[in-house]
Structure 1
C-alpha cells in the first residue's frame, strides 16, 4: 500500500510546477547554506522553519526535507575546498577531500562526494521505506507506560550523545521538559510557571526557541571567533573523474550506505558517528591503507554515502516512535507538531498518504541534489568568499523576522533573543543546547503518557516495571546513564593495577 501511495505521490509532485519549484528552491538553499562554514543543517532548517507555516503539511515537509538532504552534501563542499566542514557529518570528508583539492583535483573530489551522497541517500531511503512499517507495527503494541518510558529512553540517549557529559545533557533536557510545562495545565486548566504573565500563559513556542538556540546562538558563536573571512578557495578544475574511477567506488558506497542508515536510525547516534565508523572500516579493508589522508577516493565516497544515508535512518525513530534521531529531525518533528501531526505509529495508520509524501520528499531531494549540485558547484565556490560578518548579520536578521512571522508577535522575538543568548552562554559553559529542544518537544509527550498511566493505575508506579517492554526501556536508560561512570571507574582501576 505504501509503495502504491509513494508512486502516486511522486507522480503528483513531479507534475506540479509549484511542488517542483519548492523542491528546487529548497535544494538550492540547502546546498549553499550547507557549504557555508558555521551554518549547519540544523541551523539552516531552524531559520527556514517559519517559511513552512503558510504551506500545506506535505509541501512544508517537501521544502524542509529537500533543504535537509541537500545541506548534508553541501557540507562536503567547504570540507573539500577550504578544509572546514560545513556540517558535522562532513568532518571526515576533509581528511582526503582537501588533500585531493590541493593536488588540483578539487572537481574530482566534489564529484565523488556528490555521486556517493546520491547513492547513499537512495540506500537510506530504501531501508527507511522497508524498516519504518515494521517498526511502526511493533510500536502499535505500545501503551501509555511504554510510550512514557520510550520517551525517557530517547531523552537519555539524546543526552548521552550530545557531545558533553551525560549528566549535563540530562540536566539540560530536564530544563527543556520543565519549559514544555509552562502555560495552562491540559487537564486542570491551571496556569503553571507563567509568573502571571499573559505572554507565557499559552506556553513557550517551539519555533522561537529552535531559531534562537540553533540559529542566533550559532551566529553569536561564529561572530565571536573573530575571523572575518574564509581561507582562499582553490580552483576546481576538471569536474568528472573517469567512468572506471567512479565505478570502482561502488563497494565503499554500498558499505557506507548500510552503515549510515542503521547508525542514523539509532536515536542520537547521528551522521558524525556513521561517517567515522565508515572511514575506519574503509581504511581497514583497503589494500593501500597508507593512502588514506593523502587524497584517497574511498575516504570520500564511503563517508559521504554514510552521511547521506543517515538522513533516511534518522527519520525512522522520528516517524515510527515520535523520538527525534538528532537535532535536525527535532526541527522536522517540531514542524509536524505545528501542522497538527504527531509522529508515531498512528501516523502510519491515520495519515499513510503523508508518510508516503515524506518518502517522496527524500527521493526528490536526493535526485535534485545530484542535478543542482553539479550545476551549482562552481557558483557555490564563489559564494563561499562572502565576508563572514555580512553572512551572519544577514542570518541574524532572518532569525528575528522568522520569529516575528510566527504569530506577528514581538513576544516571540524576545523569546528567540533570550534563547539565542542562552544558547551562546551554554556554549561558553560547555552545556549541550540540543537536549533542551529535545526536552521541550518530548516533555509534553512524556507528561501526557505518564499522567495517563498513573490515572489508570490509580497512582501505582509499579505498572512501569510490571510490563516487560517498559521495564526493558527503564533498564536500558539506567545503563546509558551509568555506563560512562562505570567505564571511567574501570579505566582507573586498570591504571592502578598497571
Structure 2
C-alpha cells in the first residue's frame, strides 16, 4: 500500500484538488453548523456535484464535506444549544452552559482540539486495521456476504431512533426499492412501471438528496428556531495549557470508545458519543459535575464523535457495509464512479484507497486551520434567520439532482422521495434504514441467489462457522428490543414503582 502513497500524494497536491478540498471542508463546517442540517444531509446535498469529478477527486471533495460537517455540528450545539448533527447532541450538555458564561470561544476550541485528536486516532485505526480486515474478508464467499448484509440491516434497525419495528419496516422498504430495474440474472425488467428511466434502477443521487436533504429542509421550514443571542459572545478563544492537559486521559479513552463503536456496522456516531460521555461521567461522578459547562464533557463527546468517522470507513472499504448513514451515502458515491467497496478495492485500486487515507488526513488539518478564524464569524452567521439559508439548501437540492444527468426526471424523483421522506419523519419512521436497504439490497440479493445456485440448499447457512456466528449475533440484536420491553414491564425502575 505504501508504494501507492506518492501517486495519491500527487493527486492531493494538485492545486485544483486542494482548492476543492478547502471548499468542501468550508461548506461542511458551515452547513454542519446550521441547526438541523446533519452530516448526512450535507453529504447528500453535495453528492451530485462530485459526479463530474474523477473518483479520487470526488472522494476528496466528499470526505472534506463529511469531516467538516461533523465538527460543524458542535458549533450550533455550543452557541445555540441546538445540535447541528445527531453526533453533537451530547456536546450541547456542557458546551452551551460554558458559552452562557461568556466562554464560547473556549468551548469551541475544546471541541476543535478534541475533534482533531479524535480524527487522528480514527485515521490511525483506518490505516492499521482496514488492510488486515480486507485480507481476512477475501476468505468470505457468497454465504458469508449474504449473512453479513442481513447483520448490517439488523444493526441499523436496532440503532435507529424510535421503534425497532419501524426501523425494520423502513429497511424492508429499502430492500424492495433495490429490486427496481433489471434482474441481475435474467436481465428482465422488474417494477419499472413502464418508465424507461427506472430500468437501470433507482438513481442513488436524487434518492439520497430527496430523502435526507429535501425532506429535512421541509421539516425545518415549519419549525421556528429561536437564536439565543446571549450565548453567541465568543470571548477568549484559547483555554490555559494546563486546563487542556487535564483532559488528555478523557480524550484517549473517548477516542478508543469512538473507534470501537465506529467499526460496528450501522452503529453510528451518536452511539459513540453517548458511550464516550457516559463512561467519563461515570468515572468522575464523585469528583466532577457534568452538564454545567465541564470541558471534560465537551472533549469526551467530540473526541468520540470524530474518532468514529475514520473507524466507520473500515467496514465500508473492507466489507462494503456502511458504518453509518453518512458512509451509506459514500457507498452511493463509490458505486456511481464504478467502484465496488469491499476487499477487492485494496487489490484492484490501492492508489484510490491510499488517496482516501491522505484525503482524511488533509481534511483534519484543513478543518483545524479553517475553524479557528471562523469562530467569530459563526456568531454572526448563526444570528441570521436560518430560513433564508434553508432556502439556499433547497436550491442546491434541485440543481444538484438535475446536474447529474441533465434530466428533469431526476428532479421529479428527488421531489417524490423528498415528499415521502417528509411524511415518514412526521410519522416517526426513520429514513436511514431505507438508504441502507437500497444500497445493500442488490448486494444481498446477488449473494443470496448466487449461494442458492451454487449450493442449492438453504442449509448451507447453518453449516459454515462464520455464517452461524453472524446469524446468532443477528438473532441477539433482533431480540434486544423484546428484552428491553420485558425488563421495563416486569422489573420497573424504583422510581416507576414508587409512582
1:448-463 to structure 2, matched below 5 A, reads 448-458=446-456, 460-463=457-460
1:131 is matched with: 129
Q: Pick the aligned partner of 1:17 from 15, 36, 51.
A: 15
Q: Pick the aligned partner of 1:298 from 268, 282, 296.
A: 296
2:181 is matched with: 183
Q: CA deviation at 1:15?
A: 3.0
1:399 is matched with: 397
Q: TM-score, normalising length from structure 1? A: 0.96
Q: Pick the aligned partner of 2:102 from 86, 104, 108.
A: 104
Q: Which moved more, 1:308-317 or 1:237-246?
A: 237-246
Change (3 A) 1:409 1:80: same
2:39 is matched with: 41
1:23-422 to structure 2, matched below 5 A, reads 23-227=21-225, 230-232=227-229, 233-286=231-284, 289-422=287-420
Asked if the contact 2:56/2:355 (under 8 Å) is kept, the reply is yes
Give deviations 1:208-252, integer Å, cap 9, x for gaps: 11000000000011012234x533252101111122222222111
Q: CA deviation at 1:177?
A: 1.0
Q: CA deviation at 1:35?
A: 0.6
Q: Pick the aligned partner of 2:439 from 433, 437, 441.
A: 441
1:481 is matched with: 478
For 1:319 and 1:415, locate their aligned partners in 2 and report how far apart those are by CA, in whole Å: 29
Q: CA deviation at 1:382?
A: 1.5
Q: CA deviation at 1:487?
A: 3.2
Q: CA deviation at 1:186?
A: 2.0
For 1:156 and 1:105, locate their aligned partners in 2 and report how far apart those are by CA, in whole Å: 43
Q: CA deviation at 1:495?
A: 5.0
Q: Which moved more, 1:14-23 or 1:45-54?
A: 14-23
Q: CA deviation at 1:261?
A: 1.0
Q: Which moved more, 1:207-216 or 1:158-167?
A: 158-167
Change (3 A) 1:381 1:198: same
Asked if the contact 1:283/1:289 (under 8 Å) is kept, the reply is no
Change (3 A) 1:302 1:13: farther
Q: Which moved more, 1:162-171 or 1:43-52?
A: 162-171
For 1:495 and 1:341, locate their aligned partners in 2 and report how far apart those are by CA, in whole Å: 50
For 1:298 and 1:494, locate their aligned partners in 2 and report how far apart those are by CA, in whole Å: 34
Q: What secondary structure does 1:103 align onto?
A: helix
Asked if the contact 2:8/2:351 (under 8 Å) is kept, the reply is no
Q: CA deviation at 1:353?
A: 1.1
Q: Pick the aligned partner of 2:467 from 466, 470, 474.
A: 470
Q: CA deviation at 1:439?
A: 0.6
Question: Unaligned regions of 5+ residues in structure 1, if any?
Answer: none
Q: CA deviation at 1:397?
A: 1.4
Q: What secondary structure does 2:51 align onto?
A: helix
For 1:231 and 1:220, locate their aligned partners in 2 and report how far apart those are by CA, in whole Å: 23
Change (3 A) 1:10 1:303: farther
Asked if the contact 2:328/2:435 (under 8 Å) is kept, the reply is yes
2:4 is matched with: 5
Q: CA deviation at 1:336?
A: 0.4
For 1:41 and 1:352, locate their aligned partners in 2 and report how far apart those are by CA, in whole Å: 27
For 2:101 and 2:300, locate their aligned partners in 1 and report how far apart those are by CA, in whole Å: 20
Question: What is the CA RMSD across the aligned residues, in angstroms?
Answer: 1.7
Give deviations 1:441-493, integer Å, cap 9, x for gaps: 001101111111111123x1111111111122222222212221133224423
Q: CA deviation at 1:290?
A: 4.0
Q: CA deviation at 1:95?
A: 1.1
For 2:74 and 2:287, locate their aligned partners in 1 and report how far apart those are by CA, in whole Å: 22
For 1:257 and 1:147, locate their aligned partners in 2 and report how far apart those are by CA, in whole Å: 29
For 1:290 and 1:126, locate their aligned partners in 2 and report how far apart those are by CA, in whole Å: 31
Q: CA deviation at 1:52?
A: 0.4
Q: TM-score, normalising length from structure 2? A: 0.96
For 2:269 and 2:337, locate their aligned partners in 1 and report how far apart those are by CA, in whole Å: 27
For 2:13 and 2:488, locate their aligned partners in 1 and report how far apart those are by CA, in whole Å: 60
Question: Unaligned regions of 5+ residues in structure 2, if any?
Answer: none
Asked if the contact 1:9/1:360 (under 8 Å) is kept, the reply is no
For 2:282 and 2:275, locate their aligned partners in 1 and report how far apart those are by CA, in whole Å: 11
Change (3 A) 1:402 1:482: same
Q: Give the number of aligned pairs.
A: 494
For 2:440 and 2:274, locate their aligned partners in 1 and report how far apart those are by CA, in whole Å: 28
For 1:426 and 1:287, locate their aligned partners in 2 and report how far apart those are by CA, in whole Å: 39
Q: CA deviation at 1:13?
A: 4.3
